[in-house]
Amino acid sequence: GAGVSQSPSNKVTEKGKDVELRCDPISGHTALYWYRQSLGQGLEFLIYFQGNSAPDKSGLPSDRFSAERTGGSVSTLTIQRTQQEDSAVYLCASSLDRGDTEAFFGQGTRLTVV
Amino acid sequence: KNEVEQSPQNLTAQEGEFITINCSYSVGISALHWLQQHPGGGIVSLFMLSSGKKKHGRLIATINIQEKHSSLHITASHPRDSAVYICAVIKANFGNEKLTFGTGTRLTIIP
């Protein structure tokens, strides 16, 4: 597709369940980022992938969060044993190369943990 | 103190007014982004700049690296410009490409 695609667009899950969020970056973009926006809060960085380099996981809030990027393209963000405080909009962005090029954002996945 | 500060936090203006949103940062940067977040949550990158000035339609972004300050201007504002505008910087540390965000400015343009 022409833009960054995220799925699902909305996800409601019960506390304690695992969820997987998917991001399809723009074809050819080597950099991929996950961000989170909690209700009433600003955006916060979660994880960054650049090509084949080890990802920058410094923003992941706990060990319940993990992400992988297969084949340098699609990325999956997994949250295990979800908690209510995990409720947020999870945004994926990609850019052509390093972070000093334009970033393109997906529409986000709104996660609600009940 | 946040590394990226925006002002004002909220701005309401009449249609047609000239709008200025300010962003100040306290770290060395390699680039700065201005983002627009629509009420539905989608984010669009408006500008990415590392020096000088950029213009796109009614939008103008400027940056002063020495003063660590950037401004986003909207000329002839329109209700469809109503959104949250977010300033984000890329810190000037090699390998640290993640965006650091300001808290956003909520702009409301009244017809």
Confidence tier at B16 by pLDDT (50, 70, 90): very high
The nearest CA of chain B is from the CA of A105 a distance in Å of: 6
Q: Across residues A89-112, what is the average pLDDT?
A: 85
Separation between Cα atoms, residue B9 and residue A35, nearest integer Å: 21
Picking from B88, B98, B104, the nearest residue to A56 by CB comes out as: B98
Task: Name chain B contacts of A107, Cβ cutoff 8 Å.
Answer: 40-42
Q: Give me chain A's average pLDDT, please.
A: 90
CB contact under 8 A, B33 and A107: no
Q: Which residue of A has its CA nearest to B44?
A: A105
Nearest to B77 by CA among B9, B7, B12, B10: B12
Q: Do A59 and B97 touch (CB under 8 A)?
A: no
Residue B15: how many CB atoms within 10 A of its CB?
13
Q: How confident is the model at residue A98 (pLDDT cuts 50, 70, 90)?
A: low
Q: Do A99 and B30 touch (CB under 8 A)?
A: yes
Please give the pLDDT value at position B20.
98
CA A24 to chain B, closest CA, distance in angstroms equals 16
Whether residue B56 has pLDDT greater than 60:
yes
Q: Bigger pLDDT: B63 or A100?
A: B63
Taking the C-alpha atoms of residue B56 and residue A70, their distance in angstroms, rounded to an integer, is 36
Is the predicted pLDDT of residue B94 greater than 60, yes or no? no
pLDDT in tens, A58-82: 889 999 999 999 887 999 999 999 9
Q: Which residue of B lies nearest to A99 if distances are taken between CA atoms?
A: B97
Q: Is the pLDDT of residue B96 over 60?
A: no
Q: How far is B4 from chain A (nearest CA, A)?
A: 11
